[in-house]
Structure 1
Amino acid sequence: MAQPESTEDRGPRPDKTALLSLGIVLLFSPLAALCLLPLLLLLEFTGVPLWLGYGLWALSAGLYGLRPVQLALARLLWPARRPNPDEHERLDAVWSEVLRRAAVSERRFRIWVVDLDEVNAHCVGRDLICVTTGALAELGDRELAGVLAHELGHHLRMHTAAAAFLVWVLLPLQALALIGSGLAAPFSELGRRLSEFEFDAGVKHRTLLALGRLEMGLRGCFAAPGVLAFAVKNAASRSAEYQVDAFAVDLGFGAELLSALRWFEACAPPAAPQPLVPGPRRARHAAVKSPRPTHPPLERRMARIAARVAAADTLLE
């Protein structure tokens, strides 16, 4: 069911999911800053004061909000480009209708194309949406409109911008996990070597057990802050998917989005398992076939969309 149109331009505003991401930043920033301390102390010997090092770290996170930086990162991480004339004509027609129903200015957001065969779309930064050539080839205009409405919902609620800021600021926590793995590696190697020797079975068992627990303890302690932070972030991301699905339905694109997800369920190959803590090339996608930490199960999303569409149709009767 399409909502009544408004002449007021609706710009991006953070919702509870985006605010939660920023809250996690505030909660874990002191620990992230502590993780940076050894590196910054080394830089201090070269004449770089601590305050400047921390200032550059904070500034680097803030720079992500700038359009040139977002475009540079998009080109670095994906084969992204501006649409060619044919792609632009098609995307402009579909996108204009989505923006019209959402009462959003066409100047606020941009759409680029990613040269990938997979059928997908994702948000970058605060105002860029990337659509794959696979999506343009396989999806009809109706399905494409549903997917774009979903992605617009992420931008209007500032999900992607807040999540990217969170990941950037908390990168030191991932470095902390790597340090833990490095400290645990000698105990792992010692256990492997001891297992090759023959001596008292009881002593050998207890020694290997102690080394194994020490190794796992080191890895767990150093990885725990990052795992906890990203677990909360991923839980918020799953909730965000339901929210923007509902946004697409309320704009009148529920059937279109549902059709796109059904196509994906029927035709797309299974995706590879994804890690709890994302790497630098992870992106927010409109549809995933296999479970991912940042997305709820596809069938559950489809059920909720169908129920909301049915409820909207009932109100119209």
Structure 2
Amino acid sequence: MPRSVFESEELTDRAATTCRLERDLAAHLARHDDPDRRRSLAGNPHLDPDLGRRLARDPDDHVRFEVSTRPDLTEEQRADIAIDAPGVHHHPLDWVVALHDDPGAMRRLAASSHPLVRRSVARARHLPPDVVALLAHDEDRVVHLFLAESCDDAPADMLLGVWQWWTGSLSAPDRPHGHPNFPRSDLLRHAGDPNPRMRQLALDDPESTAELVELFGRDGDGDVRHRAANDPRLSAASAVRLLDDPHDHVRHAAALHPRLPARVLVRLLRDADTAEDAARHPALALPVMERMLQRIQHPDDATAGP
């Protein structure tokens, strides 16, 4: 594409990123006053190496970062580009994802100095054991997070570490706790842990007791009480008590507890503030739900029942 066409058609940054540009146009964009234009050019796969080196020294952080993720760089060249570590919300690099089934490439890229390259490796479904071990000890904890969310080979100790600070994302809400390698035994040792997220895990241990559930139902941390409120071993009395918990999510869980007495459930159903939660209770019989639905659809119909 010549510069005359690019300018006459008022083409967007997408053209600068994807089209094969004449040298004059590429050089012009590399010197453009708008950093967004330079950033778009930095991702162009047809960019001449000397212009890539120029953009690698660009004063704009975003331009340099874009250059640093190019697949045609050696790891030495990538390491020479000054960048800031990216935040969590970066998509994995497509060219790294395309190599996920190549063990040799994964070994090479897992040792990259670039955090986004290593994070993109961590997104692989399966990785060689030595690569998993390397990434599990990476200095970037986002690498650990992506291993926990994506890699079925992630080790148990690393998953436990991620659990301490990550509560789950929209794309992987059950990770790391739902990971197949997450520890399922020897968790009672965490019952007295000062970290409430670790204390919760004690109830997952097969040897945990109803007494521990009761103890956690009075824990000083709301999330620990919430975990107890979701445990079927919690007593009816404790479930009723947690209906008055100061935290919404604890009260909601208590309203759905299977041991909640029928008289209490009826009271919740008759209260406009609690009826929505109580209507989801698993013990509600089908005829009762049908009558509730009739009351909603026909509030003035006396035949709908009391």
Place the TM-score, normalised by the shorter chain, in its bin.
Answer: under 0.3
Instruction: State TM-score, norm by structure 2.
Output: 0.24
If the length of structure 1 is used for normalisation, what is the TM-score? 0.23
Q: Pick the structure with more helix per residue.
A: 1
Task: Give the structure, 1 or 2, with the largest relative contact order (CA under 8 Å, sep 6 or more).
Answer: 1
